[in-house]
Amino acid sequence: MADAGKVEELALYQEMASEAEAMVRHALGRGHEVPPKIVDVVARAHSKAGEGSERPTVIELAKAHGKLAKIVAPAQPRGLRILHDVDTGNWGWVKLPLPRRLMMAALISLGGLLVVGTFPDVSADPDAGNPMMSGGWVLILNQLFFMAVAALGASFHGLFTVKRYIIEGTYDRTYAPTYWVRFMLGIISGLILASLIEVDQASSLHSIARPVLALVGGFSASVVHRILERLVTTVESLLQGDSRRLLAEQAALAAAKGEQEVQNSRVDTAGALLALQAKLARGASPEQLDADIAVLVGKLLPSGELREAVGEDAADESSA
């Protein structure tokens, strides 16, 4: 366990020393002021045993590393170390896996564009690449042509982005997979724009409209993403509007039905009262009148409420 701990500590020490050396070279090369003590710590960290200088401790090297990171900011220590390790001339960046593979993808896309473009079925006709207007071998060739154009735009965007990070010293190879995800998104976006957007044949640019759309989609996949998001938002608002309107119509229908029931109840009550008045005018007996009144009250009030009302009246009479 002790040996394993020493190995890990030595690996950490060497990594900090390499990053510190890269930051010192970067800072001095850019004209930044670096304290001599920090330069001395970094130089002694790379010295070998027996050269007459004592190597700094891990704590001393870590302090120097932190101060150098503030001096070279926004450049990052890891990115500078990676660039320092491959800096062997004008073509040293080719040793970086991501830029090299992006360049290979760009060359393959360009070759595919040239090869597919030689077929006579790849034409300037806007309908040739429209899945709704053409089919068969003509559609396949035109779709392959659009994919090659979109891939060229996506690789251009990737190379342009990684170039900026290399210049700024913020390149980090841990984000390499995101470039390839962005590359595939660019191909899909370019194919969507070139295939599904209608092109006006009356326009003077109709012959290059679809390739340009494929190139734009490949370079900026976020454009298609925003278009689809806005489309989804529009559809959701329409569906929500329909559901709200349906609920409002149901509420209005229920209110109208309730008002109709109240109106019918009033008419029935008025008719019952008129009939009771007619019986009273004809000299009906009190028992008959009481029975008719009980029937009328039973129609107006549920039986439970009627019993409660009768019980309260009886209690009031007994207390009186």
Tens of pLDDT along 84-104? 777 645 566 667 888 889 999
**CB under 8 Å to 216, separation ≥6 — which residues?**
153, 190, 193, 223
Burial of 303 (0-12, 13-18, 19+ CB in 10 A): exposed
pLDDT tops 80 at residue 227: yes
Q: At what angle do helices 176-196 and 206-219 cross, to 10 degrees?
A: 160
Cα–Cα nearest to 99, from 30, 21, 58, 159? 159
Give yes or no: residues 98 and 195 share one domain. Answer: yes
Contact 36, 59 (CB under 8 A): no
Full domain range(s) for residue 262: 228-274
Domain-embedded: residue 247? yes
Cα–Cα nearest to 109, from 61, 75, 157? 157
Helix, strand, coil percentages (3-state) for the chain, rounded to 5, are 80, 0, 20
Task: Give 291 or 222, the one with higher predicted confidence.
Answer: 222
Task: Read off the pTM.
Answer: 0.63
Q: Is the backbone of residue 63 left (phi > 0), alpha (psi -120 to 50) or beta?
A: alpha
Q: How many helices (H) and strands (E) does the chain have?
A: 11, 0
Q: Is 48 helix (H, G, I), strand (E, B) or coil?
A: coil
Give yes or no: residues 99 and 214 share one domain. Answer: yes
Element (H, E) at 208: helix 206-219
CA pseudo-torsion sign 295, 301, 302, 305: negative
Q: What radius of gyration, in Å, describes the C-alpha atoms of the chain?
A: 43
Average of per-residue pLDDT values in the chain: 79
Task: Give 295 or 111, the one with higher predicted confidence.
Answer: 111
48-57, 114-123, 147-156, 297-306: the lowest-pLDDT one:
297-306
59-63, 145-149, 270-274: the lowest-pLDDT one:
270-274
Give yes or no: residues 70 and 34 share one domain. Answer: yes
The residue count for the chain: 320
Domain-embedded: residue 251? yes
Contact 152, 191 (CB under 8 A): no
- Dist. CA 227–CA 144, nearest whole Å: 23
- Dist. CA 39–CA 26, nearest whole Å: 12
Give yes or no: residues 56 and 25 share one domain. Answer: yes
pLDDT tops 60 at residue 304: no
Would you state the pLDDT for residue 5? 62
Domain-embedded: residue 280? no
Per-residue confidence at 55, pLDDT binned at 50, 70, 90? confident
Contact 80, 28 (CB under 8 A): no
- Dist. CA 96–CA 48, nearest whole Å: 29
Give yes or no: residues 263 and 307 share one domain. Answer: no
Per-residue confidence at 53, pLDDT binned at 50, 70, 90? low
Would you state the pLDDT for residue 102? 92
Would you state the pLDDT for residue 161? 92
Per-residue confidence at 188, pLDDT binned at 50, 70, 90? very high
Cα–Cα nearest to 142, from 121, 158, 162? 121
Q: Domains in the chain: how many in total? A: 4
Would you state the pLDDT for residue 163? 87
Give yes or no: residues 105 and 208 share one domain. Answer: yes
Out of 64, 86, 108, a domain closes at 86
Q: Write out the two tokens for 301.
A: 């009030």
In which residue are the tokens 């370079």 written? 219
pLDDT tops 90 at residue 156: yes
- Dist. CA 190–CA 145, nearest whole Å: 11
Looking at 47-175, list the stretches that DSSP marks H as alpha helix, in order from N- to C-terminal side.
58-72, 77-86, 97-117, 136-168
Domain-embedded: residue 78? yes
Give yes or no: residues 133 and 162 share one domain. Answer: yes
Domain-embedded: residue 181? yes
Would you state the pLDDT for residue 26? 86
Give yes or no: residues 21 and 39 share one domain. Answer: yes
Give mean pLDDT, residues 107-128.
86
**CB under 8 Å to 299, separation ≥6 — which residues?**
268, 269, 272
Would you state the pLDDT for residue 315? 47
Give mean pLDDT, residues 128-152.
85
Which range of 88-92, 175-179, 270-274 scores highest in mean pLDDT? It is 175-179
Give yes or no: residues 188 and 144 share one domain. Answer: yes
Cα–Cα nearest to 83, from 181, 159, 13, 163? 163
pLDDT tops 60 at residue 310: no
Contact 137, 58 (CB under 8 A): no
Which range of 125-139, 143-157, 256-270, 292-306 scores highest in mean pLDDT? It is 143-157
